[in-house]
Structure 1
Amino acid sequence: MDATLVRRKFTKKEIEQIYGTRHIGRDQARGLVSLMDFFCFSEACLIADIVQHFVDAKLEFDAPYVYQDVNRAIQHVHRSGLAHRGILSDSQRYPVKDVRDDELYYNICLLFLTHSELQRLLRMLKENGKKLFLLTNSPYYFVDGGMRFMLEDSLGERDSWRELFDVVIAKANKPEFYTSENLFRCYDEEKDTLAFSKVDSFLPDRVYYHGCLKFFLQITKRNGPELIYFGDHLYSDLRGPSKARWRTAAIIHELEVCLQFH
C-alpha cells in the first residue's frame, strides 16, 4: 500500500522521500490549501478519515473531490447554524474553559487566560479608559451563549458580559468586512430581526450586524494606529486590519506548548 495513503505520522526520511525539498514553489502553492486555525483541525481530521476509509475499502477516488465535498459539507453546517445550535445544546461538552493533559496546560480563552482572568483583564482595560469592541463572524445568539459560558463564574448575577464591551458587532463577514462598503444594521435580540434605520452611532446596549471597516472608522472617529485587534486567523483577523494600519496581536495557541519545551 502506498505510504502516502496511510493515516499515520511519517518519519523525517519518508517526508523527504515524498516531498523532497522543504521549499514550496509558487506553482505548487496554488494547489495547496492553508489550514491555520483550530477550526481546521476538524476539517483535516475528517479528510484524513475519509481518505483512510477509501484506502481500507480499496475504493478508487480522486483526492481533490474528497476535499471539495468535505469543505462544502463543513461550510453548510457552519453557515446554516447547525454547528452553532449543536454546540449550544451541549455547552458542557464543546466550549472548553480549561483543559489539562498530563503536564501540559491548555486554555483556549483569549491569550491563554482563565475565564476569571479574562474578565479581570477586560475590566482593567475598561477602568483605564480603553474602548473595547467585539467583532465576530458568528451570529449573536452563539456569541452570547459562548460568552455567558466562559464568563458566568466570574460575573455577578446581575452583570452581563455586554457591559465589558462598548461595541458588539456580529455576522461581520470577515475578511470582506475590511474591503466592502456594507452598512451596519441594528439587531433586535428578542425578535431576531434587523432594523431599517440608519446606523450613525454605536450605542453600548445595542448589537450590530454586518458593516465594514470604512463605516466603523467613520462612526468611531478612530484612526488605524489607535486600534489594536486580537485575532487567531491570518486572513480573517490579521491581514485585513494590518492593511488598515491597525495594530494587531496574534493569538497563537500552540505557542504555550512550545514554551513548555524550551
Structure 2
Amino acid sequence: MLSTQAVSEMYGRELVDLRKESRWEFLNMLFSVSEAVAYMQMVDRLDEGAISADVGPLDYKGLYKAVGNALFRAHVEGQLKSEIMSKPELFIEPDPELPLALLDQKEAGKRLLLIANSDYHYTDKMMQHSFNRFLPNDMDWRELFDMVIVSARKPEFFQMSHPMYEVVTGEGLMRPCVKARPGGLYSGGSAQMVENSLDIHGDEILYVGDHIYTDVSQSKVHLRWRTALICRELEEEYNALIRGGGHRATLIELINQKEVVGDHFNQLRLAMQRRTKGRPAQTLAATHMDDKDLTESIQKLLIVMQRLDQKIAPMLEADGEHFNRRYADIYTSRVSNFLHYRPFMYFRSQEQTLAHDSYSSYHPKLSKSPGSL
C-alpha cells in the first residue's frame, strides 16, 4: 500500500472522475474479490507471455473482459452453484443464532420476506442447509417467511416491473400470476408488487442486504425503504476499537495539547503582527514580553507543534483505518445480532459528528428507542 504522502506526491491535485473514466472498474461486492484475484494472476501470465496465442491478442483491458466473461459463464451456466450445492458445508459458515433471531421477529408480529436473485433450487438448498437444523420442532425455513421471491433480478427489482410467476411444485415448476399473496413462493416480480400485496410501503419496510448498490442504495433511492447493511467488517472494527482504547486516549490527549499550544502560538503571532504594524494592542499571552522574548517564544512553540504533529499524523491515519464510509440507515455485522435486542426495538442513526467534536464521536453510531422496525 502507498502511504498518504506517496499518493500525494504522485498524484498531487489530479482529479479522477470514476463516472467518466473507462479504465476504472468498480469492485463493490464479495464476488468481485475472486474476479480481481483471477485478473491479477492473468496479468502476470500475460506479461510473461504465458497465455496461449489461441486466445488471441490481448491488452490489459481485453484480458479483464475475458476474465469477466469466463466468470460470468461459470455463474450463469450453473457451474459455480452446482459445485456449491454439492458440498455446501465447504462454503457456508453456520450461524445457529440467525434462524432464531428471525423467529423472534416473526413471533413478535413482523412479516418477513426473503428476496433473492438466485433461482429456486439454489435458494432452497442453501436455506435448508443454513436454517432447518437450527429451527425448533422440525420447522422448515419456508415457515419463517410470509413471502419468498427468487430470481428477483435486483437492482432492476426495485425500479422495473417484470413478469411474476408462482412456484407451485417442489421441482420448481411455475405458472403466471398477477398478484402475490402472503405465504406464497414467487419468481420475478417487483418491489411495487411486494408493497401492493402486503399493503405497506416506504419506511414501514426495513430492507436488510449486504450489497451497497444492489441492495441498500436502490431500495432507498427509488422506494424510500429503510435499509440495514450487513457488513462483516464491523466485527473487526469493533475489536479494533476495544484494542485501541489506549491508543485513542493518547491521541485525544495529544490533540488537546496541540490546541492549547496552538492557541498560545497564535496569540503571540498576532501580537508580533500588531507590533510590526506599529499598533499598541496586545494579546493576553504577549502582554509582558519584549520583542526578543516574543520572537524566541514563537520559535519554541513552533517546534513543539511540529513535534506534536509528527506524533499525531500517523496515529490519526492508523485510527482512521478502523472505519469505513457509511451508506445505510443502520449497520450490523450479521443478522443474528438482532437476537440480542428485543424484537420491538426501533433503531435509528445518531446525528453525525465531526472529527474535532467531543470524545463521544468515537462511540458506535447506532442508537435505539422503544418502538417497532
Residue by residue, what CA displacement relative to the aligned partner does 1:157-216 show, whole Å, maximum 9, x if unpaired?
6210111111000000011111212132101343432113x2423241x32000012222
1:247 aligns with 2:226: yes
Q: Structure 1 CA distance, aligned partners of 2:238 and 2:13?
A: 28
Residues 236 and 27 from structure 1, CA distance in 2 versus in 1: closer, same or farther, beyond 3 angstroms?
A: closer
Preserved contact between residue 154 and residue 215 of structure 2 (Cα < 8 Å): yes
Q: Structure 1 CA distance, aligned partners of 2:208 and 2:102?
A: 13
Q: Structure 1 CA distance, aligned partners of 2:230 and 2:128?
A: 21
Q: Structure 2 CA distance, aligned partners of 1:27 and 1:20?
A: 20
1:41 aligns with 2:33: yes
1:223 to 174, 182, 201: 201
Q: Structure 1 CA distance, aligned partners of 2:210 and 2:6?
A: 31
For residue 152 of structure 1, report the CA deviation from its aligned partner: 3.6
SS at match of 1:153: helix
Match of 1:78 in 2: 75
Number of residues of Structure 1 aligned to a counterpart in Structure 2? 235
How do 1:1-262 and structure 2 match up within 5 A?
24-26=16-18, 29-57=21-49, 61-97=58-94, 115-156=95-136, 158-196=138-176, 198-204=177-183, 206-242=184-220, 243-262=222-241
Preserved contact between residue 186 and residue 199 of structure 1 (Cα < 8 Å): no
Residue by residue, what CA displacement relative to the aligned partner does 1:57-94 show, whole Å, maximum 9, x if unpaired?
47784111111111111121112222111101111212
Contiguous gaps of at least 5 residues in structure 2: 52-56, 242-373
Preserved contact between residue 206 and residue 225 of structure 2 (Cα < 8 Å): yes
Q: Structure 2 CA distance, aligned partners of 1:137 and 1:245?
A: 21
Contiguous gaps of at least 5 residues in structure 1: 1-8, 98-114
Residue by residue, what CA displacement relative to the aligned partner does 1:23-74 show, whole Å, maximum 9, x if unpaired?
5335654432111121111111111111111223477841111111111111
Residues 21 and 86 from structure 1, CA distance in 2 versus in 1: closer, same or farther, beyond 3 angstroms?
A: farther
Counterpart code for 1:247: R
Pairwise CA RMSD: 2.4
TM-score by length of 1: 0.81
Preserved contact between residue 177 and residue 212 of structure 1 (Cα < 8 Å): yes
Q: Structure 2 CA distance, aligned partners of 1:246 and 1:20?
A: 40
Larger helix fraction of residues: 2
Percent sequence identity over matched residues? 27
Preserved contact between residue 81 and residue 122 of structure 2 (Cα < 8 Å): yes
